[in-house]
Structure 1
Amino acid sequence: MSDPSTVVSRAWVEVDGAALRRNLRRVKNAAGPGAAVVPMLKANAYGLGVAAVLRMVRAELSADELFAVGVAAVAEGEELRALGWTGRVVVFAPAPPQEFARAAAAGLTLALSDLDSVRRWAHEARGAGTRLAFHAEVDTGMGRAGFPYAEAAGWGAAVAAEAADLLEWEGCFTHFHSADEPDLAPTDEQHRRLAAALDALPATVAASARRVVHSSNSAASVRRGGYGGDLVRPGIYLYGGSAGPGAQPEAVVSLRARIALVRDVPTGWTCGYGATYTARRPERWGTLSIGYGDGLPRALSPAGGQALVHGRRVPIIGRISMDMTVVDLTEVPGARAGDAATLIGRDGGDEITLDEVAAKVGTISYEVLTGLGPRLPRTYADGTQAAPAA
């Protein structure tokens, strides 16, 4: 990882690219030799920097292994094009009607969930004079998008008719709602529903619809081997977040901040907005150059949040402010202004994990990662540094 003594920043995010690549390879290996991969790079690659993560993905996977990259928004696909990515980009969230023309201009592949969207996409193809690709999402219980699995016999023929020779129907997919839970029975049922929908498609359209079939996110890729699908779509596992029992990845992210100020305070001195903390003895406090304006969860302090300083855990005290966070350094007498404190990651023999932080504040690792804000530069294991994320 980056040497904290060489990083010139008030606070920053470290990304272990080698660990990310090993997590990606584990997903690919778990899914078997016949499965290709669609790494999810949405939300600025889960907050880690899409340009850098794209380089890591391309370095790890061969052209045959890397089917596409996945995003959630047309603008994210446009950004990938601006970065020079000429391969397939699949936009998995439904695109608003106003963005179809932009998606066509960028050569993106859309996930479509209703006949109106298929008609709209066909209209763009006619205007562009080129075939546009799409994947049909099948709703097997997620409820937020997709054609209903039980009505495949009807919508399958209608989709094929609307697509005609204007669109390239590349395949079908579904999204699991509980693949990271201990009980995989609901996920197995969703997989059965997808299979039933594919079996119900009219014979005249089955070949197109079955060209590629995919369902597995990180959890199902690792825990169920991707269900033997043509593609797997890993996300959080790549970035170091747990994908459920038996799917623990290597840590990828560290969050560090400088100690900007160290002060000795008397018994009874109060800390933070609302004066929610009072010194119980003469104490030594350190002010960290990070706050909720950088994405450090404000709820972390009352939830018993900690930092690592010189390899020792110290408590966060008082309320986390927008730009500052205070820790009790009384038990770390050697700590000085300018030292690095670790909010996520390893320091010495101890580690505060991403999932530990998420659990303390009652959320998920996805939200913690994507919440890391634009003031935090991203540094990478090879020593490179990205500008603050936009």
Structure 2
Amino acid sequence: MANGIYTTSLIGQILNANEIIVNDGPVSTLLTDSRRIANAPEALFFALSNRRDGHEFIAEAYEGGVRNFVVRSAPAEPLINANYLIVPDVLAALQTIAAHHRAQFDLKVIGITGSNGKTMVKEWLYQLLSPEHNIVRSPKSYNSQIGVALSVWNITADNDMGIFEAGISTVNEMDKLQPMIMPEIGILTHMGSAHDEGFKDRREKVNEKLKLFKDCKLLIGEYELLLDHKKQNQEQHHFCWSRKFNSASLYVFSETSISGNYYMRAMYNKQEIECLVPFLDQASVENAITCWATLLALGYSPAVIDERMERLAPVSMRLELKNGINDCSVIDDSYNSDIQSLEIALNFLDQQNQHPKKTLVLSDIYQSGLSRDNLYRQVANMLNDKKIDRFIGVGEALQHYKDWFHVTEKHFYKDTYDMLVDIHRLNFKDETILLKGARNFEFERISRALVQKSHETVMEINLNALLNNLNYYKSQLQPGVKLMAMVKAFSYGSGTFEIANLLQYHKVDYLAVAYIDEGVALRQAGITLPIMVLNPEATAFDKLTEFKLQPEIYSFGLLAEFVNYLQVNDIINYPIHIKIDTGMHRLGFEGFEIEPLCDLLEDNPYIKVRSVFSHLAASDAEEHDTFTMKQIRRFEKAFKQIEQTLDYKVIKHIANTSAITRWKVAQFDMVRLGIGLYGIDSAVTDPNALESVATLKTSISQVKKIKAGETVGYNRNGSLKKDGRIATVRIGYADGYLRAFGNGVGKMLVKGMLVPTVGNIAMDMCMIDVSEVDVKEGDEVIIFNGDQRIEELAKQISTIPYEILTNISQRVKRVYFYE
């Protein structure tokens, strides 16, 4: 590395790689995803074999301008002007170059691990230590085998401190993370149940995590967690905190809430000290105590710490996608701003195809660890790479560097107030707007101006959880099997283009909708994937062909109508999907109809059979397995007959969500994933495999005291058996909370406690019994989430989860978030 610059050949030497180098040049960016290309001329792409083989995406990265690749084997036909570094293990190579880079710098590094709180502690320590230090830190929650490597790569000569988090899910993983981080100071956060399944027991998990700290001079954490480690590693300095043991370095002996803040008193060095933090929830309080202990261990005075802790700001690690005014979409990331999280947010913006125009509203970036010239040169290059249509810069620094931004339309304002004064002239309309602002710019004011107003009942969709579920099902597929995602019925109530954009970005093979207008809406939102329409209407064949949608053909009548339409409009080889009825007895050609169907398909120039498929009636039910096997055999007989007639191969698919895992013999060429995307599949027995995607929540509008026997609600159906209190909440049957949930059948979560409904469910509201909970107006109420699951609500009213999800009204605002 000469003058801090890596070259392709130098990295090849560090990796001891076999080399094919055509044009040696500088390398400053490491890439692991062909969809997220930045600084392509100086990028090095690692063809990782994660869920998909990264070698499949080399051509895509090359098309994006990348010319440097780390690969597992030499290409049969090297791409023109491309350099290849050939190594036995691509992930190990990424970690090796990260460890080498880390070793070039003599800076104070804090390593953080634990089950929960790693990211929060890291971000708060960044806030607390920034006045004295130039800090490089993990972006967002980059703490995996790949994420740590990419985080460490960001170290520069300007940094005098690094804060990196490390997460593991099984044994021996920390052995690879420790050499990349090489912490001098270690912090162990809360140890919970996350990833317990990857370890023999909780003790083993703690010991594996402690491997991060083997060379640390100072180790910080909760007293009981570190007690054994302290006895066995007396050469290390341990700074322990506790709420129970007064022998701890920091003993917190008094805690109370004061006007929305949390006040703590503790003993430290035989002196009583105090600390006030602006949070009340216990997770935040525990993370704050960890930060308190860390600053004391680093030698900060209790008075300085107290002053800074009181000013700690909430940490939002998620992007929120919301519906905006004038047919806009708003990506709200208005609570933090740094160069790494800006790149993550721009990648998310890049996924959105629903509007023709993409706009970035960005504030000045503080505490970047870079010189202003270097920082804003990087920002400008990043924006130019991402092809932003409109750029709005807020802050004096961005104004100063405005000529560096080569964007078609750009505006600059001194501060947020000036932009808000001018917001009507900016004329936001039919565009996707990313808000990315440092906290003191108060971009939430811009968000309020741009986001559609709606009532306080909200359904949150966790896109990370949906992606986790998608990847789980992908991992269950046999090699070469395609995946069709069902996005009918407003994606099971979860959204249209918001879900489809994610699925397209993560390369599913097909989408399926129920009706033509659903497919048209996706096409108009920029979705280019093949889309199958399950119930095509003859009256809308023109729309179907105009928007290149592919119809399911399930009867002779529909086939004749569609072929006639194609013939009249002189359309040939139009793709269709043939539905076979193997026992569901809903739609499709039956066994005795296959022969005459083949006669119609043979040598028909107007249609091209893209797939033949059927639907399993009870793939999740063991008691119907014999019937399911009959369906599979009938399907095999039918598609073989059709393929023999056509004399070309078609895609075969019969497996729905539950069959993907229960009936791998039925995966054939493609599977259809539906409600499993949303974390609901009775065939999946591993409780950690799927995550709940949706959270439906509302708030309390009023609390009333009710005497025993007094009636509540319409028809006087509700009452309490003893004196108590009821809360009226802002959800009713018009929102999708059905009347069947009334009169104690339904339960809602309030402050962690399940409480029953009281009386009938009204159109826009309902009442719950909060006699045993301390609540006030405005408090949050959860209808369903990962704890109060949709399956439980379905049991309450004797229905299925599909009905619960799809009943959520369109007037309930959807908020999509991505961490």
Contact 1:308–1:314 under 8 Å retained in 2: yes
1:97 is aligned with what amino acid?
A
Matched, 1:77 2:523: no
Partner of 1:246: 685
Pairwise CA distance, 1:226: 6.3
Pairwise CA distance, 1:181: 1.8
Matched, 1:154 2:596: yes
Higher relative contact order, chain-length normalized (CA < 8 Å, sep 6+): 1
1:312 is aligned with what amino acid?
M
Matched, 1:355 2:791: yes
1:145 is aligned with what amino acid?
L
2:541 pairs, out of 100, 104, 111, with: 100
Partner of 1:221: 660
2:805 pairs, out of 363, 369, 372, with: 369
Matched, 1:49 2:495: yes
Matched, 1:18 2:454: no
Partner of 1:237: 676
**Deviation digits for residues 97-155 of structure 1 (CA, Å, limit 9, x no counterpart):** 21222212221101101223222222332305343110111110111111112442332
Partner of 1:182: 622
Contact 1:111–1:134 under 8 Å retained in 2: yes
Tell me how many residue pairs correspond in the alignment. 367
Q: Quick one: distance in 1 between partners of 2:764 and 2:645?
A: 61
Q: Quick one: distance in 2 between partners of 1:226 and 1:220?
A: 9
Contact 1:112–1:137 under 8 Å retained in 2: yes
Deviates more, 1:239-248 or 1:102-111: 239-248
Q: Quick one: distance in 2 between partners of 1:263 and 1:274?
A: 19
Q: Residues 31-50 of structure 1: matches in 2 within 5 Å?
A: 31-50=477-496
Q: Quick one: distance in 1 between partners of 2:633 and 2:662?
A: 16
Pairwise CA distance, 1:178: 0.8
Q: Quick one: distance in 2 between partners of 1:317 and 1:182?
A: 38
Partner of 2:702: 261
Deviates more, 1:66-75 or 1:247-256: 247-256
SS of equivalent to 2:504: helix
Q: Quick one: distance in 2 between partners of 1:203 and 1:214?
A: 17
Deviates more, 1:355-364 or 1:114-123: 114-123
Q: Quick one: distance in 1 between partners of 2:696 and 2:659?
A: 28
SS of equivalent to 2:700: strand
Q: Quick one: distance in 2 between partners of 1:246 and 1:190?
A: 24
Contact 1:13–1:254 under 8 Å retained in 2: yes
Matched, 1:274 2:715: yes
Contact 1:157–1:201 under 8 Å retained in 2: no
2:606 pairs, out of 146, 166, 175, with: 166
1:166 is aligned with what amino acid?
Y
| Larger-gyration structure (1/2) | 2
SS of equivalent to 1:179: coil
Q: Quick one: distance in 2 between partners of 1:45 and 1:226?
A: 27
Structure 2: gaps of 5 or more residues = 1-317, 321-443, 449-453
Partner of 1:118: 559
Contact 1:134–1:170 under 8 Å retained in 2: yes
Contact 1:115–1:159 under 8 Å retained in 2: no
Q: Quick one: distance in 2 between partners of 1:167 and 1:47?
A: 33
Contact 1:133–1:170 under 8 Å retained in 2: yes
TM-score normalised by L of structure 2 = 0.43
Q: Quick one: distance in 2 between partners of 1:324 and 1:75?
A: 32
Q: Quick one: distance in 2 between partners of 1:289 and 1:153?
A: 57
Q: Quick one: distance in 1 between partners of 2:533 and 2:610?
A: 13
Q: Residues 319-334 of structure 1: matches in 2 within 5 Å?
A: 319-333=760-774
Partner of 2:748: 307
**Deviation digits for residues 155-204 of structure 1 (CA, Å, limit 9, x no counterpart):** 2222235xx11111112000111112233222221111101112334733
Contact 1:290–1:324 under 8 Å retained in 2: yes
1:88 pairs, out of 523, 527, 530, with: 530
Contact 1:138–1:148 under 8 Å retained in 2: yes
Q: Quick one: distance in 2 between partners of 1:355 and 1:128?
A: 49
Q: Quick one: distance in 2 between partners of 1:247 and 1:300?
A: 29
Distance 1:281 1:369, change over 3 A: same
Pairwise CA distance, 1:16: 1.1
Structure 1: gaps of 5 or more residues = 384-390
Partner of 1:386: none
Pairwise CA distance, 1:323: 0.6
2:746 is aligned with what amino acid?
G
Pairwise CA distance, 1:42: 0.5
Q: Quick one: distance in 1 between partners of 2:462 and 2:772?
A: 30
**Deviation digits for residues 49-97 of structure 1 (CA, Å, limit 9, x no counterpart):** 1111012212333xxxx2211001011111111111122110123x232
Q: Quick one: distance in 2 between partners of 1:202 and 1:310?
A: 59
Contact 1:180–1:245 under 8 Å retained in 2: no
> After TM superposition, what 4+ stretches of structure 1 lie above 6 angstroms from structure 2?
none
Q: Quick one: distance in 2 between partners of 1:284 and 1:204?
A: 71
Contact 1:156–1:202 under 8 Å retained in 2: no
SS of equivalent to 2:654: strand
TM-score normalised by L of structure 1 = 0.88
**Deviation digits for residues 334-369 of structure 1 (CA, Å, limit 9, x no counterpart):** x111011001014xxxx2110110111111111111
Partner of 1:203: 644
SS of equivalent to 1:146: coil
Contact 1:182–1:244 under 8 Å retained in 2: no
1:283 pairs, out of 724, 743, 757, with: 724
Deviates more, 1:180-189 or 1:269-278: 180-189
1:119 is aligned with what amino acid?
A
2:638 is aligned with what amino acid?
A
Pairwise CA distance, 1:2: 9.1
1:355 is aligned with what amino acid?
E
